Structure 1
């Protein structure tokens, strides 16, 4: 067997194999025989796919996540308007406002379960398409509401759509991108959420009526629907469905002409055959959920979400305007809220970039320690502020609460608002990634409902400052859990992560480079290989 070098000389490939690998190194010889290319030997690198194509596909898949942020931010601007006397509608009390804030999180867990099932049944792309309709209907219902029950119903529909979009968007991104881009692009969903929050805060700062804000918000799911129609299905899902050629076509669209499509498709097919990957039946899905490779990462992520929700992230997001007003800060409450939204968006983007460099664990520690300290400071200031008010003393150091809340926002988005959402697309077996992702987002949004609904109750029970002391303490204690149980998935392929949770590999740490790997040889300039 022979071939030609770049200058036209004949090369005996069998002799070449013998040169680059000792005869007793069967693994290297087999690899050369299988892949048939010197550039594939250890030490050589393959050409990566088009980053632009993968970024564009990820952006279009994640447009709907902006809606989730808008659902979070809407109560912060609508509730103060509805609590005003003679607002032209009805005046709501503290507990009615808690229902407006939290009802979206009631519909969200249902959407998570539904989308998880739909993802594995009809695919990631079709699930993304379907999820936009309840979001669109919900915003239009709120915008045309003439009674409080209509607002409640609209919030439920918006929450349902928000729950449906979370897992498909992130699973799509994880499966459609290559490892060197996956961590950064999987964080687009978190950037979308932060952008949605900022949009709502900005619309509120412009003093737009809450009905107008709802109508404007309906534009986002309409754009997301168009984006979902334009992207291909993920290669992993197509391969698991036995559609090899369709998987290759999807890879070609996502990677471009520079990538070795056949090799990546071959790897997907090899993994699917090795692990008997196919579209699962209901019985197989239930069995898969009971496997160690599923329940261990679910346990880790479910507790991650519980800790970060009870670290005060969403109470501050949902009640931002009122919290700034109650904190003792002298800055205009709408301006402070918008400033928080801007900081949140900027540092979510920063965090997405840092995921490639720093990994999941270090950024999580930044959040757990940073959020804990800033909320303890905020709670302490609010305690002294309440004492000054009782004593009739002018509040001092009014810059502290604004600074604490801004630093809290920075700390929260560095890890809490990005890392667990990225890991949903990484840690579950391919066979049931959709259902497991749906269950995880279910647990996440159920925690959101719990913390948002109980915030007014916690205020009544422990006072404003006591609530923030509690949230700060939870965040600090969560650091211990993250240190012990949270794995580092940066730079690992989905197959390597799955093998780790099934017990086929002991660690996800990058292997040390062996000094005994034969180098890829190159002929001296002007000479042909023997």
Structure 2
């Protein structure tokens, strides 16, 4: 199933914990060789101090996705601040334009990161974001706001590079956790935006975010290039490339044995992924042939379906239209608790759940997290819809009226529970799988394609949401989200392989095996 070879005498389990009594499924190279049942060979256990540089650098790289969270949450701030001067159609464009332009950045980021390198594109991704905030600061008309949102979307699409970069600089045993940090930083952006939205106007917030993006730009100057990219795409003599890779690996891995393992993995993957054809025609022909291999088309199809189900389950509608959603729920949930308070609570919960999920991912597989997430989302949306059904009644004039108005807190709890369970899996895992399931040779281009496809789906959902609410009502929409969530959990159970603790080579072997 997982393509591993647990009986090989040249491999042994590697334990991340300092507790030697715990076993792990991941197998290391013969640099830590020990035969099962023999205790005479002392091995090195991976502990956090061994990978601390990887954790710090990953956090710096993840800073660029804070902008993605801000983009999503800022939509509801703009909607609320401009609703008295703009039409429903104009407001829906402000919310959805950022997702419409996201695919532009995502499509270009693949070839750009393959040609220029992961680090340079991380830095470049900050530039459109800085420009967009300048436009919003000086905006006097909706046209300039539209342009700013389009540019912000391009920046968000370019930020996809962080997932690929982090997957290539981290040890396989902590890779799932650090990839899930992506959602922590997205959630941080959402939380910051919601919190500032209580106190500042939308154009004042733009000044804060401009300063933040400038700081992120300069901090990224200090991260190293991906050693995988240098080995597979780097230019220069072999000796120079090898020296660069070894220098970076020594910075990332302070323990010699871990360094040796990573060097072996990189050389193994680079041999399988070599594409040294200088002719554009030959490269295109080679890429077309790669698309027909099961190691490429199988994970691509799985990820496309996952992203479709993610969007149709409403995971991002709640973020883009938080204030509108809470207004549809009733707007006020108590004497001193309104939709703005609910919005901030949503941001806090999403951040905390993303934090917990990142640590869960070190011990619990992708399949378990996604299935649990899908079932929890289905449960909460179904009972939210049932609440609307049970608390509405028709009077003698045929008009629908609300009963149990003082019990709206139940509905709020159900919706917030939906947010929590969505963060366990369906909001986070599909994005992180891009950096795990795809082969290194096509990861840049295909990763960009998949993110673009996901954002096109996101655009469709966010653009049509205001009209769907009018057509179906909150009750009908919640029923739809519930059914889609259940389908998502079923799809994961049937088709998604487990990647926890697997090397890139092992994952490729899984998809390459005969059905």
TM-score (normalised: structure 1): 0.83
Give the aligned partner of residue 149 of structure 2. Answer: 155
CA contact (8 A) 1:179 1:492 kept: yes
Asked if 1:421 is matched to 2:431, the reply is yes
Between 1:338-347 and 1:373-382, the stretch displaced more is 373-382
The separation in 2 between residues aligned to 1:275 and 1:213, in whole angstroms, is: 45
Matched, 1:240 2:240: no
CA distance in structure 1 between the partners assigned to 2:299 and 2:467 by the alignment: 32
Q: Which runs of 5+ in 1 are unaligned?
A: 1-24, 30-34, 85-90, 507-530
- Relative to structure 2, which stretch is displaced further, 42-51 or 54-63? 42-51
Deviations 1:165-204 (A, max 9, x none): 02x1011111100011101001111111111111111011
- Spell out the pairing of 1:391-402 with structure 2 (5 A cutoff): 391=401, 393=403, 395-402=405-412
Counterpart mapping for 1:236-385 below 5 A: 236-241=228-233, 243-276=241-274, 281-328=283-330, 329-330=332-333, 331-385=337-391
Shift of 1:251: 0.6
Instruction: Give the match for residue 14 of structure 2.
Output: none
Which residue of structure 1 lines up, in the alignment, with residue 197 of structure 2?
Answer: 204
CA contact (8 A) 1:77 1:210 kept: yes
Equivalent position to 1:448, from 452, 458, 470:
458
Give the deviation of 1:252 after TM superposition: 0.9
Larger radius of gyration: 1
Equivalent in the alignment of 1:513: none
Question: How far did 1:215 drift?
Answer: 2.0
Q: Does 1:485 align with 2:495?
A: yes
Closer, same or farther: CA 96–252 of 1 in aligned 2, 3 Å: same
Residue 470 of structure 2: which of 457, 460, 463 is its match? 460
User: Is contact 2:391-2:403 (8 Å) kept?
Assistant: no
Distance 2:372 2:210 in 1: 35
Cα 1:38–1:333 shift into 2, 3 Å = closer
**Structure 2: gaps spanning 5 or more residues:** 1-6, 12-27
Displacement of 1:67 after TM fit?
A: 0.5
> CA contact under 8 A between 1:139 and 1:214: conserved in structure 2?
yes
Determine if the alignment matches structure 1 residue 65 to structure 2 residue 65.
yes
Residue 226 of structure 1: which of 213, 218, 226 is its match?
218
Provide the rounded CA distance (Å) in 2 between the counterparts of 1:27 and 1:394. 67
Distance in 1 (alpha carbons) for counterparts of 2:32 and 2:388: 64
1:47–1:258 contact (8 Å) kept in structure 2 = no
Distance 1:26 1:265, change over 3 A: closer
Mapped to 1, the partners of 2:448 and 2:35 lie a distance apart of: 38
The residue that corresponds to 1:179 in the other structure is: 172
Q: What is the RMSD of the two structures over their aligned residues, measured on CA atoms?
A: 2.5
Q: Secondary structure at the match of 1:313?
A: coil
1:216 corresponds to: 208
Does structure 2 conserve the Cα–Cα contact (< 8 Å) formed by 1:278 and 1:431?
no
